[in-house]
Structure 1
Amino acid sequence: MHLTEYNNHAVLEPVSVEQFAQFRDLFKLEYVTFRRFRGRTERTLKTFYYCFYNPKIFSMSFPIGAIQKVEQFMIDKRIEYKYRIHAASGCGKCIYHLPADIISNKYSFQEDAVAQVSQHRRGIFLHPTGSGKTTTMAKIIAKLQRPTLVVVPNLTLFTQTHDVFSKYFAPEPIGKLGDSVWNLERINIATQQTLWSIYEDSKFQTLRNMIDVLIIDECHHVNSQKGGQELGNSWFWVAAKIPAYFRYGMTATLGDKNSAELLKAVTGEVIHEIDVDTLVKRGVLTQARIEMHRILVHNSSYDWHEAFEALLNSTTRNQQIANLATFHCNQNKRVLIITNRIEKHGKILHQLIPNSVFVDGSASSEDRKDAIEDFKQNNHVLIGTIFGEGVDIPCVDVVIIANGGKSQKSVIQRLGRGLRTFAGKNEVLIIDFYDSDGALLERHSKQRYHTYKELFPNQVEVT
């Protein structure tokens, strides 16, 4: 057999139909899906395989990040093979310079992380939210000195990253691919939505041909599986199609087993990791104190849509959120409320809280930027559906997580909104709710509680 490595995929050949049946299980993903039908919830098990077999030429191909486990399988099974490398860096070297003052002893872990790119041309950097991933990305780009594409999940992070890179790499122009702008340079920032919208377009082909380094910020999005109906989501397919020689992901969490496997398929294994506790001790992150307030929510359903409606419509719960926000605001604290529903939650809370500011996904990049700057200058309450991840607001004193849920990824991202350090800030208060309904909401509350306890074992209180 021959195992051939390309930039974004690998090919194993010849592989008989019988042999493929053995290899295929290495790429097996199983998902449990639910749907409401005639008043009851139906459960279905679906199976997907993220490898591709061509029986006409007896060839199996798969994403490049899975090559290590294929090799290990063949070694374990004593299958003889020859390794061939057809991967290549197709673009010429560039010259980028970074200012010397972005290197500090407190952030020396970033230098350790960047050193990994000399040994690994692909991999994941598992760094907590607030650890300076934007600066780490800039250092990786400066280390590799090649044409680069950085993919981000939203307009706020798009603008934020572009501003930071423009400062770091000046006078090097930074390309913008998003927010109705298509301006290609040697270093480019793109929103995932923009790349997916041109996935079949010649623009995307042009971009693919000129990129040597792919960095996916908040790369845990890659692993999202689209509602149990098909393999992967747009993040997975965009990442899989870009043939960058160097491929890296930046995230604070890998997610569940299936999610982590899909993510690693397009970015490789974890090559550098540092935890929250270490960064708190180094003074990179702020200590967190978590309060979970018990509250009765009238719900008996285990269907997520019905339970979530009950949570959003709970007058008692919404008033408690408003009371807590107003109390801390009156203590001269900057309060950030995170929700993910505009009409049914964000606007209701905005009406309940005097002098609050509400920002949703319809706001322009400039309006978002202005809202954040105003929040930094004035002590008030900022409510948003766009602040769940990636947004840099270090001055926030209190984060109120208003929208429940169970996802460990979401909990970690929301926590990160308050962990950044700021002058005069000794700790951040995270307020969540232990929704007592004897059903699904209570189960989700328990899962969030356990996530908090894993991160801050001695700083979680249920009141």
Structure 2
Amino acid sequence: MTFELPGFIELRDYQEDAIQNWFTNEGQGLLEMATGTGKTITALALANELFKRKSRLNIVIVTPFSQLSSQWMKECRNFGLKPIKAYQNSKVWTPQLDDAIRAYNKGLTDIVVTVTTNATFSMAPFQNRISKMDENTLLIIDEAHYFGAKQLNKHLPHKFLYRLALTATPTRWMDEEGTDNLIRYFGNKVVYSFSLRDAIEQGFLTKYYYYPRLVHLNEGETEEYIELTNKIKKLYYRSKEDSDAKESMERLALKRARIIYSAENKIIELSHLLNEKGVHNHSLFYCGDGKHKEERQVDAVLKTLKTKFNVNAKRFTSDESNHERDELLSAFESGEVEALVAIKCLDEGIDVPATKYAYLIASSGNPKEFIQRRGRVLRKHAGKDSATIFDFIVIPPDIQDISEGMDDFYNMVRNQLKKEFLRFKEFSDLAINGPEAEDVIWELKKEFNLLDI
């Protein structure tokens, strides 16, 4: 088995800088690189350089999902490697990994590469095999922000000397402790940052247009939103000392968030938008996991596309097998499938560079989610000069009737809009038509004293 940089790959300057910074930090560190800027290639090139310096190397690569692990397997093969697929069928991979570890420890082989998923990595069969691995192991964690969570962080092996984290969003939303633990494990340092702005300005990602679409909650949704907010407020102070109250508050907060994700008028607004702008090939529709009336939002969008607009659209969710997803991605790239309607499985690292239009029908206030989704759309592709993002921003009805005199309702609306507008700011700042997008929400920002966003 050979391990070398493929002849068709030429590292960019920023990738070489990232690799050098990691070595300068004694073989540990986190690379904060925008989605679509070549994190996988950078990591494998780094591993190749470490292998040259050490003459032998054990590599463990961990990703959140099997689909993403499959992409890593493919890239490893491009580098001449024969990775062990250590996920899904444990009866197959456990004896393969056992044999590879024994061969490596006896000096019969100089390179072992194992690709796994977060779930498999954290389970006993894999953790037991880590104890048999050499300390001179390179651990590569893709989409590393997940490992700030306690249940995953506790499984990170401290015996491994070489550690590389990859993510576009190292800061965990509302989890300072998790962020600190993550960075501490990976050498106490973000050793290199390459932002989305850098990538767009230097021509490595596609420029994009951004169009916010305002969606009103209906009366029933507004009433439920207010009722849930009042219940959450009552539990807030108790939750600091009462775990049951905290659990109840979090459950109510999730229920309230789903009102925003699943607002019924989103489907109506989507129909208006498609009537106005037309339906385009290579379109990606992001939905929430909530319901529209009595059916899942993803199914409601799919039905709208097929029946009202005669679009060859397909669902892309966790219900589809890996094989089905691979076929869908291939058909989408070729144009045979015009649109994909997804929930969350396209959020993390799955390559869909052909995407030209994205419809964010459900977006949370979590920067990790909406930054990843934008990144899916901005990858370079033949015949793609720019991308277009439509963002469905939820606002309450009858904005004009709300005054600062109605303090509770006013503040409730303001807090909700602030979450939506933070996403708007992130998207509009780098958009080709940023000032034009700003005009759509200017009056709302002024009305609710949010001009600083």
TM-score range, shorter chain: 0.7 to 0.9
Structure 2 distance, partners of 1:325, 1:210, is: 56
- Indicate the residue corresponding to 1:33 in structure 2: none
Residues 137-159 of structure 1 deviation map (CA, whole Å, 9 limit, x = unaligned): 11011111121111101122111
- What pairs up with 1:391-430 in 2 under 5 angstroms? 391-430=350-389
Contact 2:262 / 2:288 at 8 angstroms: preserved in 1? Answer: no
Contiguous gaps of at least 5 residues in structure 2:
52-56, 101-111, 230-251, 307-311, 397-412, 441-453
Contact 1:325 / 1:353 at 8 angstroms: preserved in 2? Answer: no
My pick for the range that moved more, 400-409 or 311-320, is 311-320
Structure 1 distance, partners of 2:69, 2:184, is: 25
Matched-pair identity in %: 20
Structure 1 distance, partners of 2:275, 2:64, is: 31
Q: CA deviation at 1:193?
A: 0.8
Q: CA deviation at 1:244?
A: 1.4
Structure 2 distance, partners of 1:310, 1:340, is: 10
Structure 1 distance, partners of 2:151, 2:216, is: 36
The residue type equivalent to 2:303 in the other structure is: Q
My pick for the range that moved more, 251-260 or 262-271, is 251-260
- Indicate the residue corresponding to 1:178 in structure 2: 87
Q: CA deviation at 1:421?
A: 0.7
Q: CA deviation at 1:283?
A: 1.7
Q: CA deviation at 1:449?
A: 1.6
Q: Which of residues 306, 321, 344 in structure 1 aligns to 2:255?
A: 306
Structure 2 distance, partners of 1:322, 1:197, is: 45
Q: CA deviation at 1:113?
A: 1.2
Structure 1 distance, partners of 2:184, 2:423, is: 28
My pick for the range that moved more, 341-350 or 414-423, is 341-350
Q: CA deviation at 1:101?
A: 2.2
- Indicate the residue corresponding to 2:179 in structure 1: 260
Structure 1 distance, partners of 2:205, 2:263, is: 34
- Indicate the residue corresponding to 1:169 in structure 2: 79
Q: Which of residues 101, 107, 114 in structure 1 aligns to 2:8?
A: 101
Q: CA deviation at 1:394?
A: 0.6
SS for the counterpart of 2:160 is coil
Residues 411-461 of structure 1 deviation map (CA, whole Å, 9 limit, x = unaligned): 211111111011121111111122102265423212212322455596361
SS for the counterpart of 2:131 is helix
Structure 2 distance, partners of 1:326, 1:187, is: 51
**Does the C-alpha gap of structure 1 residues 157 and 436 become closer, same or farther in structure 2, counting only changes over 3 Å?**
same
SS for the counterpart of 1:101 is coil
- What pairs up with 1:20-39 in 2 under 5 angstroms? none
Structure 1 distance, partners of 2:275, 2:348, is: 24
**Does the C-alpha gap of structure 1 residues 200 and 126 become closer, same or farther in structure 2, counting only changes over 3 Å?**
closer
**Does the C-alpha gap of structure 1 residues 306 and 444 become closer, same or farther in structure 2, counting only changes over 3 Å?**
same
Q: CA deviation at 1:199?
A: 6.2
Structure 1 distance, partners of 2:274, 2:123, is: 39
Which has the larger share of strand? 1
Structure 1 distance, partners of 2:282, 2:273, is: 12
The residue type equivalent to 1:346 in the other structure is: V
Q: Which of residues 231, 244, 247 in structure 1 aligns to 2:160?
A: 244
Where does structure 1 differ by over 4 angstroms across 4 or more consecutive aligned residues?
208-211, 325-329, 453-458
Q: CA deviation at 1:116?
A: 2.2
Contact 2:217 / 2:264 at 8 angstroms: preserved in 1? Answer: no
- Indicate the residue corresponding to 2:269 in structure 1: 320
- Indicate the residue corresponding to 1:60 in structure 2: none
TM-score by length of 1: 0.71
- Indicate the residue corresponding to 1:194 in structure 2: 120
Q: CA deviation at 1:400?
A: 1.4
- Indicate the residue corresponding to 2:322 in structure 1: 365
Structure 1 distance, partners of 2:159, 2:273, is: 50
Residues 211-269 of structure 1 deviation map (CA, whole Å, 9 limit, x = unaligned): 61001111111223xxxxxxx232x1222x25211101111112254342121121121
The residue type equivalent to 1:266 in the other structure is: Y
- What pairs up with 1:51-450 in 2 under 5 angstroms? 96-104=3-11, 107-120=12-25, 121-145=27-51, 146-166=57-77, 168-170=78-80, 172-181=81-90, 182=93, 183-184=96-97, 186-198=112-124, 202-206=128-132, 208-209=133-134, 212-224=137-149, 232-234=150-152, 236-239=153-156, 241=157, 243-256=159-172, 257-268=176-187, 269-298=189-218, 299=222, 300-301=225-226, 302=229, 303-324=252-273, 330=279, 332-341=280-289, 344-354=296-306, 355-378=312-335, 380-385=338-343, 386-437=345-396, 438=413, 441-450=416-425
The residue type equivalent to 2:17 in the other structure is: D
Q: CA deviation at 1:340?
A: 4.0
**Does the C-alpha gap of structure 1 residues 388 and 248 become closer, same or farther in structure 2, counting only changes over 3 Å?**
same
Structure 2 distance, partners of 1:222, 1:202, is: 19
SS for the counterpart of 2:68 is helix
The residue type equivalent to 2:16 in the other structure is: E
SS for the counterpart of 1:262 is helix
The residue type equivalent to 2:357 in the other structure is: V
The residue type equivalent to 1:384 in the other structure is: A
TM-score by length of 2: 0.72
Q: CA deviation at 1:327?
A: 6.6
Q: CA RMSD in A?
A: 2.5
- Indicate the residue corresponding to 2:447 in structure 1: none
- The count of residues paired between Structure 1 and Structure 2 equals 355
Q: CA deviation at 1:347?
A: 1.9
Structure 2 distance, partners of 1:162, 1:309, is: 36
**Does the C-alpha gap of structure 1 residues 200 and 157 become closer, same or farther in structure 2, counting only changes over 3 Å?**
closer
Which has the larger share of helix? 2
